[in-house]
Each structure stands twice: as C-alpha cells, then as structure tokens.
Amino acid sequence: MAFLSKPRREIYKRKIKNFWIDFSHNKVGFAGLVIIIGFVILAIIAPLLTPYLPMSQRYKSPKLAMPYAVPEWFRIFPQYHDYNPTIKIEPELSNATVVEQSGPISVDMNNLFFNFTPSGKIPQKASVTLDLGNFSYMYGPPPTFTMHLAYNMVYNKSQVTIYFIIQNYTANPLYEEYFKDPTKAEMKVFISVYTPNETQQSIDSNIDSFIDAPFFPVLSSLYKPDAEKVDPARIIFSQKGTYGLKIKVEFKSLMPPPKPGSGLLPTAEGAYAHFFLKKIGITIWGRCHGILGTQSGGHDVWTELVYGARISLMVGLLAAALSTSIGILYGVFSGYIGGFVDNFLMRVVDILLCIPVLPILLVLVNYFAASVYIIIILIAIFGWQGLSRVIRSRVLTLKEMAFIEAARASGASDGYLILHHLIPNVMPIAMAAMVLSIPGAIITEASLSFLGFGDPNVPTWGRILYDAYQQGGLPAWWVWLPPGFAIVLICLGFVFIGHAVDEIVNPRLRRRR
C-alpha cells in the first residue's frame, strides 16, 4: 500500500512543480541555491581535492611545510618568487659508493652492512664514508631543514659516531665564511656504551634526537655551531646550485672503567659494532605550500577548509531540522490546546528567549564534553522558541476556520486534525523559517569552535580561526580569511534561499513583490 494515494501524490507533484517554477524565477533565491550546491559538491568530493586528512585528536596530520607558509600561487608575485616548496631528498642507497675506508672494518655494500671487529686490548678506530650522490637546490635560502636517519646496530664496548656531510659545489661566500672547511657541514650524533654487561644506551649530541624505536633514531632538529647561533639552512643554501651528500660512520673501541675494588685493569678486548644502514634523507621545509598555505603546525589549510564544509552543512541542516520540528510540535500543541496550557507554554518560551544562549552553550558543551552531535542538539534546543510563537499564532487562526469546524463536525479526532490539517498548513512557514535558521546554527558552531569549545575530532572552519588567533597567525591572512569568507558565503546562500521561499509561500510578500 502506497504511503500517499494517487490523487494526493498528483497534488503534491503539482505543488512542487509550481514551487520550482516560482523559485527558478527568483534570481536571489536561485543564486543562493547555486552557492549551496557548490558547497555540497565541495563537501562530497573533499577526498578527491586533497591527498591529506584533517587534523584531529585521533589523527595527526603530517607536517608539510613551515608554519604559516604562504600559498604556492603567491610565487607569481615578485617578492615571493624565490620561496621554496618543501623538498624531500632521499638518495637511493643502492647507488651509494665507498669513497673512504680505514681501520679494522669490513663493508658489505649489497646490504649496507658495516662490521667493526677490532683486535687486541688497546682502543682502535675505523671509519667508512659513503657518497650518496648530488642534488640541486634552485630557490632562495630556506628557513630550515631536517636530516633523517634510520639504522640497526648491535655494539659492545664501542662508540659509534655518524657524520652527515653536505658538500657545496657552487661558489657561496656566506657558506665559506661560516664554516672553517668550505667543503663540509658536519652534523653529528653518536650512541655509545661504556660497560660490557649493560645494554643501557646514552645519547650525546648537538642535535635534538628523537628515538622512534630502539636503534632507529630520527634526527629531527638542526646543527647549530657553537660560533654562530643561527639556522645553518640560510647559510648552506644561500646560493642556488648543486650540492653533494655524504655519510661518514666512525667506530672506536672503548676501555670501560674498572669496577671498584676488583683490582682488574680496564681492557678493550671483546669490543665490536655491527651497523646496518637503512635510510637517510634531507627535508628542506618550504616557505610556500598548496592552495592556501599551512597552519601553525605546518598542516594544510586547504584540507581543513574542504572537510570543514561537511561539518558546517551537517551542523546547519541537522540543527535547523531538529529545532524546526520542536518548534512545530510545541507551537501546534500550544495553539490548539489553548487556555491555561497555552499561557503556561508561552511563558516558558518567554523565559527561554531571555536566557543568554552563548554562555549557556559554553557551560553545557564543556560539561558534556565537546562533541559535534552534542553541539547540534544544544543548538537545536535553544533555537526553536521564535518559530513556536509564529506557529502558535497561525494555529490560533486556522482552528477557527470553517474547514476545521467541518472536519470536527464530521467526527475527526484531535490527532487527525493536527496531523492532517494543522501541521500541513503551517509547513510552508516552517520550511522558510528552517532555511533561515541554518545560518544561525552554522555561526553558533563556528563561534564555539573559535572560543575553543568545538569538537577537536572534526575539522571546522571555526577551529582554523581559533588556531590562527591562539598561535599568533593573524598576520597570515591567507590562513583565516578563506574560512571566514566561507562562513559568510554559505550563510548568505541559505539566507537567499530562505527569503525566496518566504516570498513564494507567503501570499502577502508575493503580492507586495
């Protein structure tokens, strides 16, 4: 059995067709529809527009460039022409060649395995240097760069020192003035063990090292010579040209201190180190990135923007639909019952209308924990009062009309009158009010996020504004202006549609037009 009879389906089909004819001739409403369709398409195809995922507590977006990097299209302007994008250099280790080798060490280049096996009781040294090839850098001086290293190592009574050597093949006066040896820039981290019976590791380095897993260090900071406390990136890469990358691994057998009271002399016997090189690379962090640049953490702003369209549409539509439903039911019930119940319900509405909504929302969101669904429910709870008064006044007029009296005289129940006569007759007003309430819901959610009370697990436009304000990103207008403009534009689209719908369903406005 069909939900609607055939005659009623024809009636609704004709009403929808006539409504579309009127709406399509309303230029303002049609412009609003085009705007909203654009945002809907943006929300649907967001995964196709960016290869990244938005930042959340459950997912940490990768760092893509320097904080507040400018958009790449800024490079069309002369002052940004030499801004570098992020450049990742990962040489193919299978093409590495040995340029220097000394001491008691064997090298297996097929597996990149270095075996240090000293003999005797006195300390011995060995080293091996690999040439990893050349790379070009054709931009202005970068803000900073990072060296990456991954390896496996087993050692005993040995100290291992790793040198990164960046060799400059282009005339660079700043580079030559900065370093005593103009052909080298050494970055060093060494791991050493001093007692033969303990496996404890110690790290002593002028680089802040981050241990990813045992024996997998990743060098995550920068070399800063004692003579100059400035970032070497602007010195090393101050000239465009060709650079070479080498790695040098030094081994040294150690004599651990004797145990107190043992009477034994220290010895280097039994020292060894097995070193297996897995990965090495350089990341030169960019001053420009993507369509809209980066946030304070170097994350992609464009990703946050396109995924934020989903949340704004969802919050606006769900909150508006829920609050409209509450307003319809409350207003119809109040107007139809009348008397003391009507007066009591309207006084409740008056009290709710006097409550400052934003402070109450801040308290409740903080109490229930920030969740986008909690935010939607709370916005809906505080957004139906005005509509309920409009619906109630309309119901007071409708229930005195002749067709309602005729239906009541024919034996129609109160539920039948409400469902089949009153609610259908107030729906046009409710639909116009619902569309016009969507911008308010979107702005309320953006306000909560901007104040730091938004859901940290969903990308929102308000969160972009919050990050820019909290992290000192206001001078980077390319970060906060797009989400602000998006909020204005999507709200404007719904306002245009709402006014067009109001003109169509309201006979007085239609005659006035």
For residue 250, the cross-strand partners are: 127, 161
3-state DSSP helix/strand/coil % of the chain, to nearest 5: 45, 20, 35
pTM of the predicted model as reported, rounded to 2 decimal places = 0.80
Per-residue confidence (pLDDT) for residue 202, from 0 to 100: 32
What is the rounded CA–CA span in Å between residue 106 and residue 92? 21
CATH number for the domain running over 16-59+299-512: 1.10.3720.10
Domain ranges in the chain with CATH number 1.10.3720.10: 16-59+299-512
* Contact partners, residue 435, CB within 8 Å, separation at least 6: 320, 494, 497, 498, 501
What amino acid occupies position 97? T
pLDDT at 424: 86
CA pair distance 44, 36, nearest whole angstrom: 12
Give, as one character, the DSSP assignment of residue 212. S
Are the C-beta atoms of residues 160 and 248 closer than 8 Å to each other? no
Rg (CA), the chain: 35
Q: Which residues of 387-420 are buried (b: 16+ CB within 10 A; e: fewer)?
A: bbbebbebbeebbeeeebeebeeeeeeeeebbee
Tokens (6 digits) for 167: 């060799």
State the pLDDT at residue 217: 30
C-alpha span between 348 and 41 (Å, rounded): 41
Provide the token pair at 385.
């009062």
Listed as ranges, residues in the chain with pLDDT below 70 are 1-5, 171-232, 256-269, 507-513
| 87: its two tokens | 């450049």
- Give the pLDDT of residue 361: 87
Q: Which two tokens stand for residue 89?
A: 């250099």
Instruction: Give the E-state strand segments of 118-185 in sequence order.
Output: 125-137, 145-156, 158-168
3-state SS, one letter per residue, for 47-72: HHHCCCCCCCCCCCCCCCCCCCCECH
Q: Which of 424, 418, 428, 431 is CA-nearest to residue 330?
A: 418
Cα–Cα distance for residue pair 336/203, rounded to 1 Å: 79
Q: Taking Cα atoms as reference points, which of 418, 414, 435 lies closest to residue 502?
A: 435
Asked whether the beta carbons of 504 and 332 are under 8 A apart, the reply is: no
Per-residue confidence (pLDDT) for residue 204, from 0 to 100: 30
Query: Residue 410: what pLDDT?
Result: 84
The answer to whether 36 touches 494, Cβ cutoff 8 Å, is yes
pLDDT at position 171 is 65
Which residues lie below 8 Å from residue 33, measured CB to CB, with a gap of 6+? 23, 493, 496, 497
Residue-wise pLDDT for 317-368, tens only, equals 999 999 999 999 999 999 888 888 889 999 999 988 888 888 888 888 888 8
The pLDDT score that the predictor gives to residue 45 is 94
**143 SS3 class:** coil
> Which segments of 233-300 does DSSP mark as H helices, in order?
233-236
| pLDDT score recorded for residue 12 | 73
Write down the pLDDT at residue 242. Answer: 86
On whether the CB atoms of residues 247 and 129 are closer than 8 A, the answer is: yes
